[in-house]
Every structure is written in C-alpha cells, then in structure tokens.
C-alpha cells in the first residue's frame, strides 16, 4: 500500500479555503481542529524559511555553498529565520549579512567546512543569530583573513546559542568588537583557543563547555588597556594544552588581557597546562566562586599593571601556586583576597623554576586585604608576601595555614613597605610560621616566636602557632 504525501503551499491553502467558501453555499463543511492545525503547521506561518525549499539537500556529497548563501541572503532580506533540517551540508566562504538568523535541529544539523578560504564570516552587522547548529571544521586550513571557523567583526548584537563547534584549524570562534552573548555552546578540538573575544562591548560568555583545545580556552583580550565589561559566568573549561609553548602565554583556561571591568564567576576549570584563570593588565577584575582543579602552573593569576582585583570564594585544588597577585614593580596593586580554599600544590612546574619557584599557596604584594583564606599543602611556603622592596600596605588577617613547608615568607629587604600579620592560625609549618626573606632566601628565625624586632615595617599580633 502506498501513501501519497501532499505539500500544501499558501496559494493552495487559500484556493482550498476559497473552494470551501463556495462549497458552503451548497451545504455545511466541517474542518476539525486537528486538520486545521495540520494545515497551518505544514505551511509554517511562524515567519521561518525552510532550507529544503531553497534546493539545499541534506547529506549531499557536493559542496552546497552557493545554495546555502542564497538561502541565508533570502531569509535575511525577508526578515525570517532560516530553519535547516537535520543532515550534513558541506559549505565554505559563507558571508552572514545583517539580520541573518539561522537555526537547525540540535546535534543533527551539521555544517562541514569544505576548505578554500573561510567558513562563516560577518562584518559590520547590527544583529546576527545562530543556534542549534554543529560547525565542523574538519581540521581544514583557514585562510589568513579568518582566525576562526565562526569569525564575526563589528557585530553589535551577536547571539550564538546551543552551538557545537569542533575541528577548527584556528580558534573555534572569534568575535572582534562585538556585543551580545555566547550561551550554552560546546567548543572542542581547536588548534588555538575555543573562544577568542577581542575589543568586546559588554559581551556575555555563559554556560558553555570548552574542552580539548590546543592553546587556550576562553580568551578575552584588547589591543590596548581599556574597559571591556565582559561577563564570563558558569562555563566549564577542561583539558587545555599549551602546544605553542611559552611560560603562560598559552595553556590557560580563562585568560583576560588588558580588558577592564571583567567578571569571571562560577566557572569550573580543570586540567589546564598553565592557569585556570589568568588576568594580565586587567583592572577592576572580579574572580569569584570558581573551581580551579589540577592546574599545571599558577591556578589564579592577577598580574602586571592592574589596579583593583577581587578574588573571593574560589576553590583551588592542585597547581604550583594557588593565587598570585603580583608585579607591583609593573604597577600591579589594590586587591581583596578573601574566603578562598587552596590545597594540594606541587613544587614541580611546567618549566624550570624561576624567581621564588613553585609550591606556594598565595603570593601577594601591594595594597591588599587578605582574610578568611585556608591554605593547606603548599610544599614551599603557604604565603609569599612581597618580593624584594616590592611590598606595601598588606593586611593579612584571620587566615589558616597548615601542612606547608613554612607559613608566611615576608620580605625584609630594605625599602619594603608595611605589612600587618594578625590573628592567623598556623598548624604544621616545620620551616617556621612567619619568616623573613631577602627575595628567595630565608634570613631570619621564626618571627612568630622571636617577634618582628628590628623590622619596623612589620606588625605581628595575636597569631597562633599550633
């Protein structure tokens, strides 16, 4: 038995309705609610534009770039959503016009890069929307004019949701001077970073999974220091390598560079070759309520010429340094470090040890309040306070340091500024609870026992050594 399938157009519907009107002169006509719903769903009155009506064929072997481009342009010109059916489409050099809105069947609509130039590119659009698509780069080389499978430049409102991006020769996605949001996407297997956002305009990067990328997870950068205001919240970043080498330029889960007023909150970052979260020259940074697990170097970093860092309520398990708020020599200053747990650190790093080396729970230098932190299992020092003369106005109060090589190593070099060390608990610190250092060399006995003495820049009060 065969079944005939009828595709109903708007014209045929109107004709049938007209016929029904004429027939009503002859007698009553009954149309059930189910039949009416079926009729209207077939012609789709929701303002969409079906990809299969433009000649696109799912799972065709041939490259369908020309047909796909025409479908995008027609839908954008009509102000409609281009809805793609499930299946594979091989396309290349796709330009997204202003107003392009493309969606597919989650996990089933797969666009495969055919090589020869770029994959998907947009420039100067007011709004672009992409959702429920798989973008597969097939590890094919991108042209020099595109750094990512999905490359957007100057898009005022980029809405990228429920996407899967894999096999990128460069970045998974690059957004230059864009606003909008990247939400609930999965990016994997990029040769560079999963997400690269440069010169953003209040971008939101939320609830994404970025994994197994060769050189970076989520990068928020600027060409020069300035306000960026990107929100990075609730992402899961894992297994980020540093194939291009270096001592921290690559291999970071979340990397902020020159971008001010950025919030990094509620992210789970694990197994990164270098830092889970690394902020370089990022003023007014908030790094709050994140998990940093098994980092290869410093787990959380605020470094170089920044002013203002709030690092609070993070859980750090693994790494060579737990938290570093450093580079007062470059202008890095002004921080609040509160309520963090730092544990299970290693003295073995990804390159030969430099300066103070590895195995340190917390490093802090200038204009900072440090309170309510728990540091356990730092093989060298629980805390490194200051570096040579680069120490000023550090208030270290109400912290717990246990099972560390020594508790606090504080600078006693000439020119070092003031530090208050008060009301802290030290338990099992065989190298001393509080010791004075000249750079990397311990030069005093345990100051928690003998007092600050001739070091007038130090105030020690009510510390407990168990």
The DSSP secondary structure of 377-421, one letter per residue, reads --SSEEEEE-BTTB-EEEEEES-EEESSSEEEEEE-STT---EEE
- Domains recognised in the chain with CATH numbers: 1-22+32-45 (no CATH), 48-214 (2.160.20.10), 263-466 (2.160.20.10)
Residue 65: its H or E element? helix 65-77
Beta strands in 114-246 (DSSP E): 120-123, 127-131, 134-136, 148-153, 157-161, 164-166, 171-176, 180-183, 186-188, 193-198, 204-206, 209-213, 216-227, 231-233, 236-240
Quick one: pLDDT at residue 53? 63
Would you write out the chain's pLDDT as a tens digit for each of its 466 residues? Answer: 444 433 334 334 334 434 444 333 334 434 444 444 443 333 344 456 676 567 899 999 999 999 999 999 999 999 999 999 999 999 999 999 999 999 999 999 999 999 989 999 999 999 999 999 999 999 999 999 999 999 999 999 999 999 999 999 999 999 999 999 999 999 999 999 999 999 999 999 999 999 999 999 999 999 999 999 999 999 999 999 999 999 999 999 999 999 999 999 999 999 999 999 999 999 999 999 999 999 999 999 999 999 999 999 999 999 999 999 999 999 999 999 999 999 999 999 999 999 999 999 999 999 999 999 999 999 999 999 999 999 999 999 999 999 999 999 999 999 999 999 999 999 999 999 999 999 999 999 999 999 999 999 999 999 999 9
Could you give the CA distance from residue 30 to residue 410 in angstroms, rounded to a whole number? 89
Residue 298: its H or E element? strand 298-303
Residue 335: its H or E element? strand 333-338
Quick one: pLDDT at residue 52? 59
What are the CA-CA distances from residue 369 to residues 42, 311, 339 (Å)?
64, 11, 11
Quick one: pLDDT at residue 21? 41
Do you know the residue count of the chain?
A: 466
The b-or-e profile of 12-47 (16+ CB within 10 A means b, else e) is eeeeeeeeeeeeeeeeeeeeeeeeeeeeeeeeeeee
Quick one: pLDDT at residue 445? 97
The answer to whether 166 touches 189, Cβ cutoff 8 Å, is: yes
Could you give the CA distance from residue 328 to residue 58 in angstroms, rounded to a whole number? 58
């Amino acid at each position: 038995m065969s079944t005939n399938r009828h595709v109903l157009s708007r014209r045929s519907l109107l004709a049938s309705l007209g016929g029904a009107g004429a027939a009503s002169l002859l007698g009553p006509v009954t149309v059930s609610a189910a039949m009416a719903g079926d009729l209207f769903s077939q012609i789709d009155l929701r303002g969409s534009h079906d990809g299969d009506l433009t000649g696109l064929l799912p799972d065709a072997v041939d490259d369908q770039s020309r047909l796909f481009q025409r479908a995008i342009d027609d839908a954008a010109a009509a102000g409609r959503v281009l809805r793609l059916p499930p299946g594979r489409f091989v396309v290349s050099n796709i330009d997204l016009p202003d107003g392009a809105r493309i969606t597919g069947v989650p996990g089933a609509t797969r666009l495969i890069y055919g090589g020869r130039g770029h994959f998907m590119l947009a420039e100067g659009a007011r709004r672009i929307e992409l959702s429920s698509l798989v973008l597969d780069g097939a590890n094919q080389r991108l042209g020099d004019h595109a750094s990512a499978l999905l490359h957007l430049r100057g898009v005022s409102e980029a809405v990228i949701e429920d996407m899967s991006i894999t096999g990128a020769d460069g970045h998974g996605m690059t957004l230059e001077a864009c606003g909008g949001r990247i939400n609930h996407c999965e990016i994997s297997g990029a040769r560079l970073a999963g997400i690269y956002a440069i010169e953003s305009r209040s971008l939101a990067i939320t609830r994404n999974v970025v994994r197994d990328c060769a050189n970076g997870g989520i990068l928020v950068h600027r060409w020069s220091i300035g306000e960026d205001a990107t929100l990075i919240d609730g992402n899961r970043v894992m297994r980020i390598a540093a194939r291009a080498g270096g001592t921290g330029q690559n291999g970071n889960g979340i990397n902020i560079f020159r971008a001010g007023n950025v919030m990094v909150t509620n992210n789970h970052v694990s197994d990164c070759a270098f830092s889970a979260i690394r902020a370089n020259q990022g003023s007014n940074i908030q790094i709050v309520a994140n998990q940093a697990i098994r980092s290869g170097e410093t787990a959380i970093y605020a470094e170089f010429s920044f002013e203002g860092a709030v690092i609070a309520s993070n859980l750090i398990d693994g790494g060579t340094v737990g938290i570093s708020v450093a580079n007062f020599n470059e202008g890095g200053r002004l921080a609040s470090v509160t309520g963090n747990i730092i544990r299970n650190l290693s003295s073995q790093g990804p390159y030969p040890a430099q300066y103070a080396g590895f195995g340190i729970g917390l490093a802090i230098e200038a204009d900072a309040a440090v309170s309510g932190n728990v540091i356990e299992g730092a093989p060298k020092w629980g805390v490194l306070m200051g570096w040579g003369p680069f120490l000023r106005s550090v208030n270290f109060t109400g912290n717990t340091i246990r099972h560390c090589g020594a508790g606090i190593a504080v600078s006693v070099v000439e020119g070092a500024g003031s530090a208050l060390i008060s009301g802290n608990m030290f338990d099992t610190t065989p190298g001393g609870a509080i010791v004075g250092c000249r750079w990397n060399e311990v030069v005093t006995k345990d100051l928690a026992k003998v007092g600050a003495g001739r070091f007038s820049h130090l105030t020690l009060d009510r510390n407990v050594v168990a």
